[in-house]
Every structure is written in C-alpha cells, then in structure tokens.
Amino acid sequence: MKTNRWQPEDIKEAAEALKAGEVVAFPTETVYGLGADATNESAVRKIFEAKGRPSDNPLIIHVSNVTQMKQFVSSLPEEAEQVIAHFWPGPCTIVLNKKGALAPSVTGGLSTVGIRMPDHSVALNLIEATGVPLAAPSANSSGRPSPTTARHVHDDLDGKISGIIDGGATGVGLESTVLDLTDPQKPTILRPGGISYEELTDVLGTVYIDTHLKDKTHAPKSPGMKYRHYSPDIPVYILPEDKVSAEDVLSKLHTQGETIGLLASDELNEHFGHKADVVFSLGEREVPQQAASRLYDGLRELDRSPATVILAESYKPVGIGLAYMNRLEKAAEWIDRSL
C-alpha cells in the first residue's frame, strides 16, 4: 500500500480515507495515533494488523466533544464530569462502562471503553471531519517506542497504512494517563501519563494506583501493560543514581566491548558524556517535562546510532516523572539485566 504524506490542510482527504475504512496516522498532544473509524470493525482490525498488536489489548477512542462521548458510555459519574471539566481536552483517558455501536475489536472483549478528547487541533478537526470517534493506539509497531514525529511513524509503518498527517513534533511526548472510573468511588490510575497523579488527587481527592504498577506480581488491569513495550532493538539499562555506581556501570560496559549510548540530562552529560560513545540530551535535569518529550526520540535515535547499549537517566517518580519512569522501566525490563 502506498502511504500518503499529508499536511494539516489535507484533513479532508484524510477524513475521506477514514470514512472509507482505511487507517490514518495523526498527531495528538501526547504521541502520534493510528486512527480508524471506531464503529467499523474491519477498519479497526486494520490497526491491529498494521501494528502487529495483540487483539486482546483494547484501543482508546478519541472524541471531539462530550456529546459524542455520551453515545458510547452507559453512564457518566460525577467524577468523570470533574475530570472532563478540568483536563479535557487533554492527556487523560477515562475508562467507563460502554454502550452503543463500537466495533467489538476496539474494546478487545471488555465491557468497558477508554475515551479521551485530545488537545490538538489537527486531531480534533480530523475527528469532526470524519464524524465518528477514532479508535487510535500509538502509531508505532507493537513493542517499539511510541512515535513523537511523523518520521517515527513513517519508519515503523510506511507501506502498511493509508496515510500520515504531519503535524510536527508532539508536545507531551508520553501517552495519556489511563484512569479507571468504572468504580467511581475508587478512581484508579492504570497507566501514568500526561496528567499527573498529583493533578488528579487535587480534583478527585483519593486516587489509587493500579497494584500492578507498584508490584509486578499482580496481573495488570490495563491489558496493554503486560506486553513488551517502548523498546528499541538494543538493550536499555537504567543508570544508577549515585555517581560512583554509575561510573562502575560505564566502565563495566566498556570492558565488555559495548558502545555506549547515553540518554541523559545536560547536567549528567557534562559529568559522564566523555565516558560514553554517543550522547542524546534529555534537556535540563530540573525540567522533567523536557525528558518526557524527548525520551522516545532518544531511544529511537540511539537505536539508529552505532551504540550497542543505551544507558538512561532516572528521574524522580513525581509529576510527569512517574510516567517517564514507567516507560523507561518497561523499555529496560524486557532484557535480562545482569550488569
């Protein structure tokens, strides 16, 4: 299949492709999504096919307004209304009991659905022009780091999808927070993301964090969290926080003949950069939003570089740092880490 390269002014063409049951990648404020008409089963299946995604991992549906959302949830608890009022459009997905004409594959056999309204004009205009909610996972090959530029999408999916709308680099750089409100008394974060735990507790009071995220022996409630995720082809290690141990790790990897790609803040790069072979900047240490927005690009760039391993810096797991560490740990846990 020839993949069209569209600009934001070509939204009509992209919407026509979506109405015809094709899949199209588009920018959101978090990462690029791979969209299909959420009410068209054969279109939604094409998403799973293009990404190589396991079919029991449900997709988020993207709406352009709250009225559209109400067609697909059986009730809207007050907690959901509060989240919507504070954080929509924005990077917070709400999981509620579903109703209506969604394609069965969207929810992977569950009775619930994840919904969000993206904070990006291209995404919102595209949903409006198509007239239906768009089911859209991140537009990467399953298991790879999510795409934050049109080029990342192209690298993974060219020839497998109908088109890509190039809206430049995304802002947040990590995916939305997934918040389960099926039990409104117990709002639970299934995946940390663009809206932080602290922001949610400010609005909702007590917010729970899915036990799987804290303790890996519990089965994950968000089906997507159990698969290989966010990983480049070369191994990723998390750099120990204290500088002496970090130094040891760098020496050890060099002794083992590895070519080291360092993914770290400017501050750390200044300290250790000369001991690495390739360096990618995560920005200022004190601004974790910069690290969040650069993480996936850094993993992909170092993967393409001569580096044979990636050593990545850890950040405090607060604010966006919680999502950053969640993704980094996932990227790293896939490999056997005996440093």
Residues that bind Mg ion (CB under 5 A): 138
Please list, in sequence order, all residues whose beta carbon lies within 8 angstroms of the beta carbon of residue 211, skipping any fewer than 6 positions away: 218
Smallest distance from the beta carbon of 5 to ligand TXA, in angstroms? 19
Note the residue count of the chain: 339
Smallest distance from the beta carbon of 219 to Mg ion, in angstroms? 19
Query: Residue 338 and residue 295: Cα distance in Å, rounded?
Result: 23
Given ligand TXA, Mg ion, none, residue 77, with its beta carbon under 5 to 8 Å by kind, binds none
Chain positions contacting ligand TXA, by CB under 6 A:
28, 30-31, 33, 57-60, 91, 93, 95, 107, 110, 112-114, 118, 136-138, 175-176, 178, 190-191, 222-225
- The secondary structure element, H or E, covering residue 252 is helix 243-255
Query: Which of 118/235 has CB closer to ligand TXA?
Result: 118
For the record, the structure tokens of 65 come out as 């307004």
Please give the full DSSP string across 138-196, using - where no structure is assigned.
Answer: BSS-TTSPPPSSHHHHHHHHTTTSSEEE---S-SS-SPPEEEE-SSTTS-EEEE--SS-
Smallest distance from the beta carbon of 184 to Mg ion, in angstroms? 26
Smallest distance from the beta carbon of 138 to Mg ion, in angstroms? 3
Q: Is 62 strand, coil or helix? A: strand
Query: Residue 127 and residue 62: Cα distance in Å, rounded?
Result: 8
Query: Which of 46/191 has CB closer to ligand TXA?
Result: 191
Residues 107, 98: contact at Cβ < 8 Å? yes
Smallest distance from the beta carbon of 256 to ligand TXA, in angstroms? 34
Residues 137, 47: contact at Cβ < 8 Å? yes
Residues 293, 148: contact at Cβ < 8 Å? yes
Which residue shows structure tokens 């040891």? Answer: 248
Query: Residue 191 and residue 303: Cα distance in Å, rounded?
Result: 25
- The secondary structure element, H or E, covering residue 13 is helix 11-19
Smallest distance from the beta carbon of 17 to ligand TXA, in angstroms? 17
Residue nearest to ligand TXA (CB): 224
Query: Which of 39/138 has CB closer to Mg ion?
Result: 138
Given ligand TXA, Mg ion, none, residue 69, with its beta carbon under 5 to 8 Å by kind, binds none
Given Mg ion, ligand TXA, none, residue 110, with its beta carbon under 5 to 8 Å by kind, binds ligand TXA
Query: Which of 76/278 has CB closer to ligand TXA?
Result: 76
Query: Which of 23/268 has CB closer to Mg ion?
Result: 23
Query: Which of 179/260 has CB closer to ligand TXA?
Result: 179
Given ligand TXA, Mg ion, none, residue 223, with its beta carbon under 5 to 8 Å by kind, binds ligand TXA
Given Mg ion, ligand TXA, none, residue 107, with its beta carbon under 5 to 8 Å by kind, binds ligand TXA
Pairing of strands 92-97, 112-116: antiparallel
Smallest distance from the beta carbon of 58 to ligand TXA, in angstroms? 4
